[in-house]
A = this chain, B = another copy of it.
Amino acid sequence: MMNKKLSKQLEFIKEIDKIKYIQRKTKLFKSNRNENDAEHSWHLAVMAMVLLEYSNEDIDILKVLKMLLIHDIVEIDAGDTFIYDTQKDHTNTNEELKAAKRIFGMLPDDQAKEFIDVWVEFEEGKTNEAKFARSMDRLEPLLQNVSNNGGTWKEFNVKYDAVYKKQQVIQEGSKELWQYAEEIIDKSVESGILNK
């Protein structure tokens, strides 16, 4: 007989499969195919492993990976909110908190608490780990949009000021990566894939 704890954990593991159907607005690199949240989360986790040395502060990379791997699970219930959505703020909506409680709440109590805490920490963006994790979350779509000749910027008529403002979050995690991001935002304006 399977123990009750394992049973809960396996139900959670099956439930989160649904993240593979959550489509982001952003497309894969040099592609017309939308990225889904599982692919996105995987990519950010590997990026964090590779780019760790650029973090402004010494950080716990295990915590960063945990954050990145679970940060979008709430979208199973709450859906993906486009970062440049002018109607709806992305972060920490009640809908997302409710989703976190329902989905992470499928786990045994101690794990449910741990996962919710990690998710809240990412959303609040105050700790060094959360700041670096959030810089990965900004950097990936920037690279994707550049590779797609403007990508969602063109598609949804997003202008330089909005991009510059949203991308500044990178700075809090990594001044070096922000310097690079700033450069490619400027180049995107010059090459006409991002409008002022």
**Chain A residues in the interface with B (C-beta under 8 A):** 2, 6, 9-10, 12-14, 16-17, 19-20, 28-29, 35-36, 38-39, 41-43, 45-47, 49-51, 54, 61-62, 65-66, 69-70, 107, 111, 143, 147, 176-177, 180, 183
Decide if B69 touches A49 in the complex (CB within 8 Å): yes
A178 to B49, CA, bound (A): 30
Decide if A42 touches B46 in the complex (CB within 8 Å): no
Across-interface contacts of A28 in B (CB, < 8 A):
17, 20
Known contacts A36-B39, A38-B39, A39-B36; A46/B2 CB under 8 A: no
Decide if B17 touches A29 in the complex (CB within 8 Å): yes
Across-interface contacts of A35 in B (CB, < 8 A):
20
Nearest to A63 among chain B residues (CB) is B62
Q: Other CB < 8 Å A-B pairs besides A2-B180, A38-B42, A39-B39, 4 of them? A: A13-B43, A20-B39, A42-B42, A50-B107
**Shortest distance in angstroms between A87's beta carbon and chain B's nearest beta carbon?**
29
Decide if A43 touches B50 in the complex (CB within 8 Å): no
Across-interface contacts of A65 in B (CB, < 8 A):
45, 62, 65, 69
Known contacts A2-B180, A6-B54, A111-B50; A42/B17 CB under 8 A: no
Decide if B61 touches A143 in the complex (CB within 8 Å): no
A143 to B12, CA, bound (A): 12
Decide if A70 touches B46 in the complex (CB within 8 Å): yes
Across-interface contacts of A46 in B (CB, < 8 A):
13, 16, 69-70
Decide if B143 touches A10 in the complex (CB within 8 Å): yes
Decide if B43 touches A17 in the complex (CB within 8 Å): yes
Across-interface contacts of A176 in B (CB, < 8 A):
6
Decide if B50 touches A183 in the complex (CB within 8 Å): no
A138 to B147, CA, bound (A): 35
A47 to B13, CA, bound (A): 7
